[in-house]
Amino acid sequence: MILDKNTTEIESISRALQGISKEISFEGLAKALLKASLNHSGASRGAVLLSEEGELLAKADASFPREKARFFASEPPVGDFQLSAEISEKVLTRQEIVVRQDISARSAMIDTAERSFDGHVVQLCVPLIHQERTIGVLYLESDGDQERFTSGCISVLSMLASQAAISFESAQLIEALRETNLWMIKGQQIGRMGSYRWNTRTQLTRASRECYRIFDIDRDVNPVPFDVFTSRVHADDIAGVLRALMQAVRTKSPFHHEYRVVQRDRTTVNVVAVGRFAISPTGDMEMDGIVTDVTERKAAERALLDARNELARAVRLASVGELAGSIIHEINQPLTGIITSAEACVRWLSRSPEGLAEASRSVSRVIEQVHRASDIVAGLRTLVREAQFRLTDVQINEAIEEIFVLLKRDLEQSAVALRSKLDQTLPMVKADKVQIQQVLLNLVRNAIEAMNSVDGRARILTVSSIEAGDHVCVRISDTGVGFDEDGKRRLFDALYTTKAGGLGLGLSICRKIITVHGGQLWVEDSPAHGATFAFTLPLRPNRLAAS
Ligand code: ADP
């Protein structure tokens, strides 16, 4: 019988210890310790107070620093909890177990004690000690029951308190981990970036919450199979993504790729993915990386490019308009004069022969006005030429690459693949960079436009630069519609255009700019489809060529 009773008691203590050790939160820990202690001791009331860093010890005084507690639990629930200065000192500072059974003992659980009992109470107070710091207190009291806290009962309660103090460490670690994790999740949400680890053997990926958002994958898919990720990649980008990944896997080099993700509601997200390989503890090759949602940044870049293009167009239109306006104004006067004089001449001639002298004077005035008009045109020509050219040392590849940046969006929109074959050893040329870029811009835009209606073959723009004798030569080839013999003859004629909204001035202005630089611009015979334009710039021009 005695054995049975002991066995049952040991079992119940071991269950209580297990219950406490399983708890991983401060709240669960405090409640489990309180419940087990009340059960075991049969005390009327009790409370458990947990602090985090042992602040209870530092603040020990008569008014128990409950506001410093990480967690407080009491049974029954009370509004206030106050230990006497003497108990506080013993438990918190000296870390002693205190039992008080004398008449003067007052309840620490004020509301309850006042309501239920006005006699004296028996108190037990056990410090919870972790790494020499008092991190909490277990407090029990009974109404006037002097036999309540026997030495056997106290030993069991101290065991429960020690187990709680040990579990406190795991609760603290888990709390810290949870906080770090929340911090990371928040950081990833703000930065719109998710982290992932991809196992190249199992083809499975572990990914952070933000990755699930970017790729629009349900949270219960964990780990994520590779084909779930690839099913979200834009159809036009998938081949590029796979190629870049395979290349990184083959060479074990860092991975960096920009592509589009299409979510289930057809929303397109622009992402930049980066990753590095490492060997996992199981010997598998794994890639750790980050995927960043750059949709907003891309939209801002596009808006900036649009604005720049629009501005460039507006400036071009404005200067064409301004020039046209001044030409109209300047030429109009002599033209009006010519008409008036010619009409007068006709009148004088009709009164022949006496009008002949006057008619001849009118014709002289016509000639005078024609000279004036021609002078004005010559003057305007000089003005335009002198005002616009400013020669500096220009690295032609740099000028070309800036045009690629400017036209990046047009190339993407027209699905044109760019092949640049720039000779990196090219010397500088003396040129007006803005004017040369104007030429490049025109030639590349024409090439893109020529490929816009092409379907069924690749749209490829090839731009090359090379040193040829005492010149630098730039070639721009496309796989567009090309032109027939008649078109080819007229390409450089001013006002020749085959486009609905074309001006037909681009190529003639380009040729003019290149000629003034002392170079040449021509069209080459294309072997298959499309067109190739080429121009040269002298490496050492003596001066600008005459127009
Ligand atoms: P615009 O572009 O305003 O028509 P351009 O002088 O630049 O004026 O071009 C004149 C014409 O030359 C174009 O309308 C087009 O028919 C032809 N052209 C120019 N570049 C190309 C090209 N790369 N491929 C085919 N045709 C072209």
pLDDT of residue 62: 42
Residue nearest to atom 21 of ligand 1 (CA): 446
Q: Mean pLDDT throughout 115-139? A: 80
**Greatest distance between any 2 Cα atoms in the chain:** 160
CA dihedral over 101, 104, 110, 111, signed as positive or negative: positive
Asked if 241 and 258 touch (Cβ cutoff 8 Å), the reply is: no
Domain that holds residue 475: 392-538
Contacts of 202 (CB under 8 A, 6+ apart): 284
Q: Would you tell me the crossing angle of helices 26-41 and 151-191 to the nearest 10 degrees?
A: 170
Instruction: Tell whether ligand 1 has an atom less than 6 A from the beta carbon of residue 431.
Output: no
Q: Would residue 185 count as lying in a domain?
A: no
Instruction: Tell whether ligand 1 has an atom less than 6 A from the beta carbon of residue 496.
Output: yes
- The token duo for 345 is 């001449």
Instruction: Tell whether ligand 1 has an atom less than 6 A from the beta carbon of residue 448.
Output: no
> Is 459 or 112 the better-scoring residue by pLDDT?
459
Q: Specify the ligand 1 atom closest to the Cα of 507.
A: 6
Element (H, E) at 516: helix 506-516
Instruction: Tell whether ligand 1 has an atom less than 6 A from the beta carbon of residue 54.
Output: no
In this predicted structure, the answer to whether residue 541 has a pLDDT above a threshold of 70 is no
Instruction: Tell whether ligand 1 has an atom less than 6 A from the beta carbon of residue 289.
Output: no
Same domain for 167 and 19, yes or no, is: yes
Half-sphere exposure of 82 (CA within 13 A, CB side): 11
Same domain for 34 and 172, yes or no, is: yes
Least confident segment among 78-82, 397-401, 422-426: 78-82
249-276 pLDDT, tens per residue? 999 999 999 999 999 999 999 999 999 9
Residue nearest to atom 11 of ligand 1 (CA): 497
Asked if 61 and 97 touch (Cβ cutoff 8 Å), the reply is: no
Determine the length of the chain. 547
* Domain boundary residue, one of 358, 385, 412: 385
Instruction: Tell whether ligand 1 has an atom less than 6 A from the beta carbon of residue 506.
Output: yes
Residue nearest to atom 7 of ligand 1 (CA): 506
At which residue do the structure tokens 């002289």 appear?
A: 364
> Which CATH number is 20's domain given?
3.30.450.40
Distances in whole angstroms, Cα of residue 483 to Cα of each of 289, 452, 532: 49, 14, 11
43-100 pLDDT, tens per residue? 888 988 887 665 554 444 444 445 556 677 888 888 777 777 788 888 888 889 998 8
User: Could you tell me what percentage of the chain is helix, strand and coil, using 3-state DSSP and rounding each to the nearest 5?
Assistant: 50, 20, 30
Asked if 248 and 254 touch (Cβ cutoff 8 Å), the reply is: yes
In this predicted structure, the answer to whether residue 298 has a pLDDT above a threshold of 80 is yes
Residue nearest to atom 17 of ligand 1 (CA): 491
Beta-strand relationship, 460-468 and 521-524: unpaired
pLDDT of residue 546: 42
Whole-number Å distance between alpha carbons of 136 and 245? 54
Asked if 81 and 108 touch (Cβ cutoff 8 Å), the reply is: yes
Contacts of 185 (CB under 8 A, 6+ apart): 208, 209, 210
Across all residues in the chain, what is the average pLDDT?
Answer: 83
Instruction: Tell whether ligand 1 has an atom less than 6 A from the beta carbon of residue 504.
Output: yes
Q: Specify the ligand 1 atom closest to the Cα of 499.
A: 14
Instruction: Tell whether ligand 1 has an atom less than 6 A from the beta carbon of residue 498.
Output: yes
Q: Is 116 helix (H, G, I), strand (E, B) or coil?
A: helix
Helices (H) then strands (E): counts for the chain: 16, 18
Q: Would residue 544 count as lying in a domain?
A: no
Q: Specify the ligand 1 atom closest to the Cα of 496.
A: 10
**Confidence class for position 369, pLDDT limits 50, 70, 90:** confident
Element (H, E) at 464: strand 460-468
Q: Would residue 241 count as lying in a domain?
A: yes
Instruction: Tell whether ligand 1 has an atom less than 6 A from the beta carbon of residue 478.
Output: yes
Same domain for 167 and 24, yes or no, is: yes
Q: Would residue 187 count as lying in a domain?
A: no
Same domain for 162 and 88, yes or no, is: yes
Instruction: Tell whether ligand 1 has an atom less than 6 A from the beta carbon of residue 483.
Output: yes
- Judged by phi (left if over 0) then psi (alpha if -120 to 50, else beta), residue 42 lies in left
Distances in whole angstroms, Cα of residue 424 to Cα of each of 55, 208, 431, 440, 475: 68, 43, 18, 18, 15
CA dihedral over 459, 462, 463, 468, signed as positive or negative: negative
Q: Specify the ligand 1 atom closest to the Cα of 478.
A: 23
Q: Torsions phi, psi of 128, nearest 5?
A: -100, 115
DSSP 378: H
Q: Would residue 186 count as lying in a domain?
A: no
Q: Specify the ligand 1 atom closest to the Cα of 505.
A: 6
Q: Report the number of distinct structural domains present in the chain.
A: 4
Q: Mean pLDDT throughout 462-490? A: 94
304-323 pLDDT, tens per residue? 787 777 666 666 665 666 56
Q: Specify the ligand 1 atom closest to the Cα of 503.
A: 3
Rounded to the nearest whole angstrom, what is the distance from the C-alpha of residue 493 to the centroid of ligand 1?
Answer: 10
Percent pLDDT > 70 in the chain is 83
Instruction: Tell whether ligand 1 has an atom less than 6 A from the beta carbon of residue 245.
Output: no
Instruction: Tell whether ligand 1 has an atom less than 6 A from the beta carbon of residue 447.
Output: yes
Mutate to test the pocket of ligand 1, among 491, 503, 514 (most ligand atoms within 8 A of CB): 491
Q: Would residue 271 count as lying in a domain?
A: yes
Rounded to the nearest whole angstrom, what is the distance from the C-alpha of residue 413 to the centroid of ligand 1?
Answer: 20
pLDDT of residue 2: 47
In this predicted structure, the answer to whether residue 219 has a pLDDT above a threshold of 90 is yes
Same domain for 32 and 99, yes or no, is: yes
Element (H, E) at 165: helix 151-191
Q: What angle do CA 118, 120, 123 make, to 5 degrees?
A: 125
Residue type, 28: G
Q: Would residue 53 count as lying in a domain?
A: yes
> Which CATH number is 360's domain given?
1.10.287.130
Residue type, 24: I
Same domain for 79 and 164, yes or no, is: yes
* Domain boundary residue, one of 385, 401, 430: 385
Q: Mean pLDDT throughout 460-486? A: 94
In this predicted structure, the answer to whether residue 230 has a pLDDT above a threshold of 90 is yes
Same domain for 47 and 76, yes or no, is: yes
* Domain boundary residue, one of 116, 151, 176: 176
> Is 455 or 378 the better-scoring residue by pLDDT?
455
In this predicted structure, the answer to whether residue 224 has a pLDDT above a threshold of 50 is yes
Same domain for 214 and 338, yes or no, is: no
Give the strand order in the sheet containing 417-422. 417-422, 460-468, 471-477, 532-538, 521-524
**Confidence class for position 195, pLDDT limits 50, 70, 90:** very high
DSSP 545: P
Same domain for 381 and 396, yes or no, is: no
DSSP 102: S
Mutate to test the pocket of ligand 1, among 442, 446, 451, 479 (most ligand atoms within 8 A of CB): 446
Least confident segment among 13-22, 72-81, 415-424, 451-460: 72-81
CA dihedral over 228, 229, 235, 240, signed as positive or negative: negative
The gap from C-alpha 122 to its chain's centroid, in whole angstroms, comes to 65
- The token duo for 42 is 């049969």
Contacts of 143 (CB under 8 A, 6+ apart): 44, 116, 117, 119, 121, 122
Same domain for 139 and 160, yes or no, is: yes
Q: Specify the ligand 1 atom closest to the Cα of 508.
A: 6
- The token duo for 149 is 């806290």
Rounded to the nearest whole angstrom, what is the distance from the C-alpha of residue 352 to the centroid of ligand 1?
Answer: 54
Rounded to the nearest whole angstrom, what is the distance from the C-alpha of residue 404 to the centroid of ligand 1?
Answer: 19
Whole-number Å distance between alpha carbons of 492 and 510? 9
In this predicted structure, the answer to whether residue 444 has a pLDDT above a threshold of 90 is yes
Q: Annotate 240-276 with b (16+ C-beta within 10 A) or e (fewer).
A: ebeebbeebeeeeeebebbbbbbeeeeeebbbbbbbe
Q: Mean pLDDT throughout 338-342? A: 83
Rounded to the nearest whole angstrom, what is the distance from the C-alpha of residue 429 to the centroid of ligand 1?
Answer: 27
Same domain for 254 and 328, yes or no, is: no
Same domain for 8 and 71, yes or no, is: yes
Q: Is 508 helix (H, G, I), strand (E, B) or coil?
A: helix
HEC assignment per residue over 246-267: HHHHHHCCCEEEEEEEECCCCC
Least confident segment among 5-9, 42-46, 183-187, 444-448: 5-9
Asked if 92 and 127 touch (Cβ cutoff 8 Å), the reply is: yes
- Is the whole-model pTM more than 0.75? no
Instruction: Tell whether ligand 1 has an atom less than 6 A from the beta carbon of residue 450.
Output: yes
Rounded to the nearest whole angstrom, what is the distance from the C-alpha of residue 513 to the centroid of ligand 1?
Answer: 17
Q: Would residue 488 count as lying in a domain?
A: yes
In this predicted structure, the answer to whether residue 449 has a pLDDT above a threshold of 90 is yes
Instruction: Tell whether ligand 1 has an atom less than 6 A from the beta carbon of residue 497.
Output: yes
> Which CATH number is 287's domain given?
3.30.450.20
- The token duo for 34 is 């309180």
Least confident segment among 66-75, 126-135, 417-426: 66-75
Rounded to the nearest whole angstrom, what is the distance from the C-alpha of residue 253 to the centroid of ligand 1?
Answer: 44
The alpha-helical segments, DSSP class H, found in 79-150 are 85-88, 110-116
> Which CATH number is 490's domain given?
3.30.565.10
Nearest to 75 by CA among 100, 111, 50: 111
494-526 pLDDT, tens per residue? 678 888 766 677 888 888 889 888 999 999 977
Q: Specify the ligand 1 atom closest to the Cα of 492.
A: 6
pLDDT of residue 268: 95
Instruction: Tell whether ligand 1 has an atom less than 6 A from the beta carbon of residue 479.
Output: no
Element (H, E) at 72: strand 71-75
Least confident segment among 40-49, 64-73, 104-113, 480-489: 64-73
